[in-house]
Structure 1
Amino acid sequence: MRGFRWALGAVLLAALLLPGSASAASPGLAGWLASRVTGDAVYAHLVGLQRIADANGGTRGYDQPGFAESVRYVSARLRSAGYQVGYQTVPYTDFVVDNETLQAGGLGPIRALMTRFTPSTPPGGLDARLVPLPAGRTGCAAADYEGLGVPGSVVLLARSSCTLQVQQHLATAAGASAVLTYRRTPSPENIYRFIAFDPPDFTVPTASVSEEDGVRLTQLATGAKVHLDLQARNVPSTTVNVIAETAGGDPGHVVLTGGHLDSVTEGPGINDNASAAGTVLQTALSLAARQRDVMNKVRFVFWGAEELGDIGSGYYAAALSPEERGRFTAVLNAELIASPNAVRFVWDTGSGKGHAITELFTRWFTQHGLPYATEPFDAVGSDHLPFHDLGIPVGGLDSGVLGVKTPAQAAEYGGQAGQLFDRCYHQPCDRAEGINRTALAENAPAMAWVLGSLASDASLGRA
Structure 2
Amino acid sequence: MRQLLMAAAGSSAAMALSAVPPPGATAIEPPGAAVAGPDLAQAVTLADLRRHLTAFQEIADYNGGNRAAGKPGFDVSVKYVAGQLREAGLLPSVQEFTFPHWRERSAAALAQTAPRTAAYKREHDFLSMVYSGSGDVTAPVTAVDIPSSGAGTSGCEATDFTGFPKWSIALVQRGSCTFQTKASNARAAGASAVLIYNRRGEKGPIAGSVERPQRLPVLGTSNRVGAELVKAARHGGVTVRVRTKTVQGMKRAANVIAETAQGRADNVVLLGAHLDSVAAGPGINDNATGSAALLAVAREIGALGADLRNKVRFAWWGAEEDGLRGSEHYVRSLTGAERSRIALNLNFDMLGSVNGTRGVYDGDRSRGSGTKPPAGSAAIEKLFRDYFASRRLPVTDTPFNGRSDYGPFIAEGIPAGGIATGAEGRKTAAEATAFGGRAGRAYDPCYHAKCDRLRNVDLALLDGNADAVAHVTQRLAASTLPVNGQARAFSARPSAPPEWQGPHLIR
The answer to whether the superposition gives a TM-score over 0.5 is: yes
Question: How far does residue 118 in structure 1 lie from its aligned partner after superposition?
Answer: 2.2
Question: How far does residue 151 in structure 1 lie from its aligned partner after superposition?
Answer: 12
Matched AA of 1:399: T
What fraction of aligned residue pairs are identical, expressed as a percent? 35
Q: Distance in 2 between matches of 1:358 and 1:288?
A: 25
Tell me the equivalent position of 2:105: 98
Q: Distance in 2 between matches of 1:317 and 1:171?
A: 28
Matched AA of 1:359: K
Matched AA of 2:327: S
Tell me the equivalent position of 1:368: 391
1:152/1:84 Cα in 2 relative to 1: closer, same or farther (>3 Å)? closer
The answer to whether residue 435 in structure 2 is matched with residue 405 in structure 1 is no
Conserved in 2, the CA contact under 8 Å of 1:193 and 1:208?
yes
Tell me the equivalent position of 1:19: none
What is the aligned counterpart of 1:63 among 65, 70, 75? 70
Tell me the equivalent position of 1:243: 257
Tell me the equivalent position of 1:273: 287
Conserved in 2, the CA contact under 8 Å of 1:187 and 1:420?
no
Tell me the equivalent position of 1:298: 312
Matched AA of 1:319: S
Q: Distance in 2 between matches of 1:353 and 1:207?
A: 36
Conserved in 2, the CA contact under 8 Å of 1:24 and 1:456?
no
Task: Give TM-score scaled by structure 1 length.
Answer: 0.74
The answer to whether residue 486 in structure 2 is matched with residue 461 in structure 1 is yes
1:428/1:212 Cα in 2 relative to 1: closer, same or farther (>3 Å)? farther
Question: How far does residue 438 in structure 1 lie from its aligned partner after superposition?
Answer: 1.8
The answer to whether residue 217 in structure 2 is matched with residue 205 in structure 1 is yes
1:277/1:185 Cα in 2 relative to 1: closer, same or farther (>3 Å)? farther
What is the aligned counterpart of 2:381 among 358, 366, 374? 358
Question: How far does residue 430 in structure 1 lie from its aligned partner after superposition?
Answer: 1.9
Matched AA of 1:281: L
Matched AA of 2:247: A
Conserved in 1, the CA contact under 8 Å of 2:174 and 2:197?
no
Matched AA of 2:378: H
Tell me the equivalent position of 2:493: none
The answer to whether residue 361 in structure 2 is matched with residue 347 in structure 1 is yes
Deviation digits for residues 180-200 of structure 1, max 9, x if unmatched?
777589996x6654322465x
Matched AA of 1:52: I
Q: Distance in 1 between matches of 2:181 and 2:261?
A: 49
The answer to whether residue 73 in structure 2 is matched with residue 73 in structure 1 is no
In structure 1, runs of 5+ residues without a counterpart are 1-21, 142-149, 215-222
Q: Distance in 1 between matches of 2:120 and 2:130?
A: 24
Tell me the equivalent position of 1:260: 274
In structure 2, runs of 5+ residues without a counterpart are 1-24, 112-116, 149-153, 156-164, 227-237, 365-373, 489-507
Conserved in 2, the CA contact under 8 Å of 1:151 and 1:174?
yes
1:98/1:63 Cα in 2 relative to 1: closer, same or farther (>3 Å)? farther
SS at match of 1:243: strand
1:395/1:213 Cα in 2 relative to 1: closer, same or farther (>3 Å)? closer
Q: Distance in 2 between matches of 1:170 and 1:452?
A: 43
What is the aligned counterpart of 1:231 among 246, 254, 265? 246
Query: For structure 1, which segment, 364-373 or 96-105, has the greater mean C-alpha deviation from structure 2 after superposition?
Result: 96-105
1:58/1:390 Cα in 2 relative to 1: closer, same or farther (>3 Å)? same
Query: For structure 1, which segment, 447-456 or 61-70, has the greater mean C-alpha deviation from structure 2 after superposition?
Result: 61-70
SS at match of 1:256: strand
Tell me the equivalent position of 2:401: 379
Query: For structure 1, which segment, 353-362 or 164-173, has the greater mean C-alpha deviation from structure 2 after superposition?
Result: 164-173
Q: Distance in 1 between matches of 2:413 and 2:47?
A: 35
1:91/1:408 Cα in 2 relative to 1: closer, same or farther (>3 Å)? same
Superposed CA RMSD: 4.4
Conserved in 2, the CA contact under 8 Å of 1:99 and 1:232?
no
Query: For structure 1, which segment, 160-169 or 282-291, has the greater mean C-alpha deviation from structure 2 after superposition?
Result: 160-169
Conserved in 1, the CA contact under 8 Å of 2:172 and 2:182?
no
Task: Give TM-score scaled by structure 2 length.
Answer: 0.69
SS at match of 1:337: coil
Matches within 5 A, 1:181-192: none
Specify which structure has the bigger relative contact order, considering alpha-carbon pairs within 8 angstroms and separated by 6 or more residues: 1
Tell me the equivalent position of 1:116: 130
